[in-house]
Structure 1
Amino acid sequence: MSSTYGTLFKISTFGESHGKAIGVVIDGCPAGITFDEAFIQQDLDRRKPGQSRITTQRKESDTFQVLSGVFEGKTTGTPIGLMIPNEDQRSKDYSHISEQFRPSHADYTYTAKYGVRDYRGGGRSSARETAARVAAGALAKLVLQQLGVSIQAYVSQVGKLKMETPYQQLNLALAEENAVRCPDPEVAEQMFAYIDETRKKGDSIGGVVSCVCTGVPAGWGEPVFDKLHAELGKAMLSINAVKGFEYGSGFAGVEQYGSEHNDEYYTDETGKVRTRTNLSGGIQGGISNGEDIYFRVAFKPVATIMQDQESVDVHGNPAVVSGKGRHDPCVVPRAVPIVEAMAALVLVDFYLLNQARKA
């Protein structure tokens, strides 16, 4: 099973939803980085369950423990081990589906591949695994901060409710001031009510997380198979429940002529080469061009719903799956820090690769 991501800044996650703990080993982090535990914990708190009534009510503090790779508040250059204990497992909530395949879950595909599966919350296929990614991504953010690179994700759509205002006209920091993590307060209220109504019906709804990366210099990325946008797409599509990725103008760009879509260059007052528009999303030819990198990630409705659904069991017999346990009616509010984390892991890896090329 592949549980490792990255080339130079490499992470390997471990653990299951209802095991003793989850965690991550980070290899390739430069030495001498200030290991800001409060910053890392803050990102974990943004992802953890039980934040409001529109998220799962599983109670996990997600307090991490440092096992290795840090001394006197600095990274040492050796592998960094982080562990997050599981504190609120209710495995009995899943005993009824020990031999049933839940619709749109990984139950059947895991059984087909491995011949065995951990049915307690999905085991390794659970989104609980993403807490380990967030911890590693927070460390990647600390590296990027020293380079002037910042990453801000936010919820831009829930179901058919879309935030129409361009990100350049919004204060994205406002996303952290409401439970939905939408930077438009008025739209955020509508989204919250929509998710809450969906929860009361025992159903779920999908949404979109948008992300903006600023301060990325020109030159990060590779021109052929390891394009920057291709790696961002791979990283985002590795997140549970993600069904789509687009950057820059995305699919909407097909409606424009080249004369409308091309980003014309100019030289600003500092002598820096810029583009007058940014429909390229900050990436051209697979390499960053110095403009904002922005992209959107589509999440499907959460597969577990509090309604009976038809399915089959491990023997192929018809079965009715009853939704139980504690689940998010909409995953996107808690997915915001996960998207940021994966973006940070991609960018810090390309930064190190670019440095190695210059060495």
Structure 2
Amino acid sequence: MVASWPEPIVSVQALSQTGISTVPNRYVKPAHQRPVYNSNQSDADMDIPVVDMSKVWGKPEGLMSVRGACEEWGFFQVVNHGVSHDLMERMRGAWREFFELPLEEKRKYANSPETYEGYGSRLGVVKDAKLDWSDYFFLNYLPSSIRSPSKWPSQPPKIRELIEEYGEEVTKLCERLVETLSESLGLKPNRLMKALGGEDSVGATLRANFYPKCPQPQLTLGLSSHSDPGGITIVLPDEKVAGLQVRRGDYWVTVKSVPNALIVNIGDQVQILSNGIYKSVEHQVIVNSGMDRISLALFYNPRSDIPIGPVKELITENQPALYKPIRFDEYRLLIRQKGPCGKNQVDSLLSSR
């Protein structure tokens, strides 16, 4: 992996705060990649499923709602999920305070493409690539051996303690969700977790995303279309400003956040493990001219050094293995080099028939 970015890093937030009236060319997407705002109301009014986890955990009949969401959408919102609502609100507030700090303070945590850990404003190292309209802070949470709180922000006060507390609660949720996904596939409760490397070996990373106001939101994206490379992702959305869009056939559905809900989406590794039964779905983030937006994503990933391929119990004569095994560290490296690129990465692992 290269040790430095191919071009000087520009803070998109600082750019927005200058009051520019046009989007610089390096952020203007090609016409076919620009945001789509659906005009067909019957399709535009669709939304991802909402799953009440109190009706799923310990209740086998509730597994069907999870299976349907994973097969049909690859995304769902969860309520009664066990993560403190007060903690969720404090996390949003702390990260908003961080992004409002002076630029020189945030740049103390500037990241590099070697690990991505820290404060940054681009994904991928392709020179002259079209960039996304966002800044972020990326950090490692699991395994604890690679956790480095000294690299986390020290301002605002107690943000490091908040990250620890939030990470602990959300990774517990991830453990329960992986068990739920396993059962919903007809597998033993611990089967998917074993395939991911075991709960003592899995990885987890956190990315706080900041999407500044944009003078021409129709020309760019806060985050380009992609599917998540890991296992599952838990998103803490901005409840005041919509932005996440999920691909549904030929349409992009803008997710309407339910109060106190978290958004769950299936990553490429679970699509591979399920042998294509569950789908990691393309999604993107739109920006707007009137308000900044913040969200947090916790990525729950396989152990990085073991091959991930379809679970043998889901391979049959009629449904042979669809994907070639690959280690997650190899898979993630390709994503980090190229940046977001739709479904191209997971599709490249399809076995030839």
The alignment's TM-score, normalised by the length of structure 2, stands at: 0.26
TM-score scaled by structure 1? 0.26
